[in-house]
Amino acid sequence: MKEPDPAAEFAFKTLGKKVFSVSEITRRVRELIENNFPSVWIEGEISNFKQIMSGHVYFTLKDELSQIKAVMFRTLAQKIDFQPGDGMMVIALGRLSVYEPKGEYQIIIDFLQPKGVGALQLKFEQLKKKLEAEGLFDPSRKRKIPFMPTCIGIVTSPTGAAIRDILMILERRFPNLHIIIYPVRVQGEGAAQEIAEGIEYLNKMDAIDVLISGRGGGSLEDLWAFNEESVARAIFNSRIPVISAVGHEIDFTIADFVADLRAPTPSAAAELVVKNREDLRLRVKELSRRFNIAYANHLQNLHSRIELLTHRLLDPRKRIEELKEGLDDISERILNGIKRTVELKKTMISAKADNLNALNPLAVLERGYSITFMESTGEVLKYADRTTVGDGVRVRLKQGEIGCTVREIKS
């Protein structure tokens, strides 16, 4: 009996049936996967992480049982706000696909973030390490806050508790100080950009001596705008000394490390930026008292030396008279000099106080005037046609504010 021919038998079995090429199978698998998994969330541990010269990022996501290759293209990889690395647990959003030349399935990632509660803390530590290495925290570049600023710029929310605390303390410690407020959002999307723009805008004003940037307390998420790189670089590039006043005493932000001075709270910033006027007056009085005592002691020492010389000489009367005349002349000149200096200082302080009072925009309120703000934007209203009937406005008086609604507009 003749043995069957294997080739002929195979040809008979495949006769009339579809035979796929490798490329066709791979393409159909790719279409099947892409159609069924156009967008998926996936979590896993990063391994074999690398970023090539083109900017594309390649790595593997794995768990205890399996792994999948991952790629993130340059445009999206540039938007990652933390530094991925081997061993890091992440959550990714992407679409499944097949790399046809090798027949391997992979995930093309559109979004990547660290997994877990510590994700924001990880971003904080990585940015802090990066900026510190660049020298943004270097103590040698930090500037002293002016002893007695005449104009203070404030970048914060116009409706928060922080600005009310700051203004109240400044008014109490040094009335009639000139203050310029740049209103911004202090949390949420876009807040960091507004804060950075506010710092840059106030830097264009020559009159401002010092800046305060901050907000009241909150969670790590609430304070996150002050941990953004754009805010840190705006503070670093500021020509005006910056005081960072974010949150409570236990809260630390990237802005605190870059700023020329960190205040534990917004209220503390107001106390640090200006001296109490009454304290300054008492200080001048105390210095004058101590100077008078020192001068009196010096005169006493001179008289004691004269007495000593008198006893040592045989006939010192003429010399003593000369010394006394010289001493009286010196005493009179010193006293006159002291009087002129004290009067000059008093005149300077009085002039400063008058100038500050004249420049204070809130001093107008003492005479019965008011300041009107748009309720929606916090903008100071100067023209009636900037409003429409039904708009909400807030009117600030000498004491307190009034919420109003526009009923009629007259140009």
Q: C-alpha distances in angstroms, 333 versus 45, 293, 317, 328, 329? A: 83, 17, 24, 9, 6
What's the confidence (pLDDT) of residue 186?
A: 94
With bands split at pLDDT 50, 70 and 90, how would you rate the model's confidence at 242?
A: very high
What's the confidence (pLDDT) of residue 79?
A: 84
DSSP 402: E
pLDDT greater than 90 at residue 73: yes
List the structure tokens of 87. Answer: 């061993």
Q: Percent of the chain beyond pLDDT 90? A: 33
pLDDT greater than 60 at residue 97: yes
What's the confidence (pLDDT) of residue 103?
A: 84
With bands split at pLDDT 50, 70 and 90, how would you rate the model's confidence at 312?
A: low
With bands split at pLDDT 50, 70 and 90, how would you rate the model's confidence at 3?
A: low
Contacts 24+ apart (CB under 8 A), 333-338: 334/295, 338/291, 338/292, 338/295
Mean pLDDT of the chain: 85
With bands split at pLDDT 50, 70 and 90, how would you rate the model's confidence at 263?
A: very high
What's the confidence (pLDDT) of residue 212?
A: 95
62 with 88: CB under 8 angstroms?
A: no
What's the confidence (pLDDT) of residue 250?
A: 79
Distance CA 263, CA 288 (A): 32
**pTM strictly above 0.85:** no
What are phi and psi for residue 244, nearest 5 degrees?
-95, 125
In angstroms and rounded to an integer, the radius of gyration of the C-alpha atoms of the chain is 37
pLDDT greater than 80 at residue 280: no
Mean pLDDT of 180-205: 95
Mean pLDDT of 325-332: 83
